[in-house]
Amino acid sequence: MRVTEALLVRRAEHNERNLTTLEEIGLHGQGIERIELINQLCRHLRILYLQSNVICKIEQLHRLKELEILNLALNNILRVQNLQRCESLRRLDLTANFIDKAGLLSLHSLQENEHLEELLLLGNPCAAWPGYRTYVLGTLPRLQRLDAEPVLPSERIAAARQLPALHAQLLGELAAEGVDLEEAAQVEDDSLLDAEFIPETGIVGEDGELRRPWCPATRILDQREDEAREAAAAEQKRADQERAAGLFGEPELEPPPRVGLPEVLEGEPILQKNEGKWEYRLEESSDGRSIQLDVAMGRYLDTSAIQADVQPSFVRLLAKGRLLQLALPAEVSPDAAIAQRSRTTGNLLITMPLADQQAALRATAATAAAGRCAGGAENAPGVGNRAGEGRCVGGLRSKLAAQQGAAELLPALVSVAEDGDSCDGDLELPPL
């Protein structure tokens, strides 16, 4: 995965997609192999999250003069470099990379970052070296915290005293291991791996399984193979759609997100639509005086992003650009409709009183009377228990005629306030 302008714009939604004034961006978990474009398009960044990628080299960040926090944890970095011009850098997170003992020689490049206060190197091979903490503190005496632990004044004094001996010990160990000391200390212009060609690191065992060692090249190979599988799956899906189009006509395509509620023309039939595939229930209330629509909107959807439209014969909701449109089994009074939003589940409940309340009351009374008759008919002399008699009928008794006049379009629901008490964890909104 490469860093593109489209990716940066997409991740800058919180700043109205404006890159020139962007101060914080999260590019974690994107499979990024190289740092690029950020240097040119996001000059005022203060916080940059690049963790959980496959970045091999710290590069192209020298123009970020205002950068204060840089997170490069869980990448493939082998040494610290090219951060000398990040003058405002305060916190650098390099947790769980591949910086080994030789990589400790590159830490001197951070001496020019005068404001650097915190450094995290846990999870790197260099942290297993016995003199690791003392060597780091001696090389970077301005640090206030190392690996999330505060630096004591006594530690700083002891590190400054022991640094020459530790440095000589480190050079001796590296030389004995055959490490090129001059190359290990080079931090200005370093290329860890060829960005285009990565040689295979694995070995095929006797069982035919490919086994790869844990190293930066392996992470890049795994990432590229995952991307290739995703691309092949997308291509297969496209081919299946084209094949289905040839057999059964054009495949059904997902409609584009709606900007607002569509206009309903007079006399136009109301079609049932559930573009967002919302789970809902449309039923009569327990008292028989209203119709209730309960929609599972999800607790993290802001109420201000929901538009509602209650008409005498139908109800509509618009959320995330998707329309829910349902014809009602009876005529309701739009002006008396009430919306409630659950604080725990996020469900939206719209209660729509029936337009003919007298008919609703008569139907409720008839239902109750039928229930009483059914209960007393069992032992009453001379009364037969034929099928269908004395049975309480659930649901609406009849479908009332819909009015022809169009009701007024309801405004978007107001945001749910965080304070205030309500029964059963529900928040009651003003009448629709």
Range(s) within the chain of domains with CATH label 3.80.10.10: 5-184
DSSP summary character for residue 330: S
Q: Residue 375: which pLDDT band, with cuts at 50, 70 and 90?
A: very low
Q: Residue 256: which pLDDT band, with cuts at 50, 70 and 90?
A: confident
Of the ranges 54-68, 354-368, 410-424, which one carries the lowest mean pLDDT score? 410-424
Could you tell me how far CA 39 lies from the centroid of its own chain? 25
Of the ranges 25-39, 224-238, 316-330, which one carries the lowest mean pLDDT score? 224-238
For domain 5-184, the question of CATH label 3.40.50.300 is answered with no
pLDDT at 138: 94
pLDDT at 296: 93
Q: Residue 292: which pLDDT band, with cuts at 50, 70 and 90?
A: very high
pLDDT at 305: 87
pLDDT at 391: 29
- Arithmetic mean of pLDDT, 243-264: 73
3-state secondary structure (DSSP) of residue 386:
coil
More confident residue, 5 or 204: 5
Average pLDDT taken over every residue of the chain: 79
Q: Topology of 273-374+407-431 in CATH?
A: Immunoglobulin-like (2.60.40)
Q: Residue 199: which pLDDT band, with cuts at 50, 70 and 90?
A: low
Range(s) within the chain of domains with CATH label 2.60.40.790: 273-374+407-431
pLDDT at 249: 57
User: What tokens appear for 326 in the block?
Assistant: 């349902």
- Arithmetic mean of pLDDT, 102-125: 93
Q: Residue 369: which pLDDT band, with cuts at 50, 70 and 90?
A: low
pLDDT at 207: 76
Please give the share of the chain, as a percent, with pLDDT higher than 70.
77
DSSP summary character for residue 53: S
| This model's pTM is above 0.75 | no
Report in angstroms the alpha-carbon separations of 407 from 100, 131, 169, 322, 324. 72, 78, 85, 22, 18
Report in angstroms the alpha-carbon separations of 176 from 29, 105, 125, 127, 173. 38, 16, 18, 20, 5
More confident residue, 67 or 217: 67
More confident residue, 119 or 253: 119
3-state secondary structure (DSSP) of residue 265:
coil
Q: Cβ distance 319 to 301 under 8 Å?
A: yes
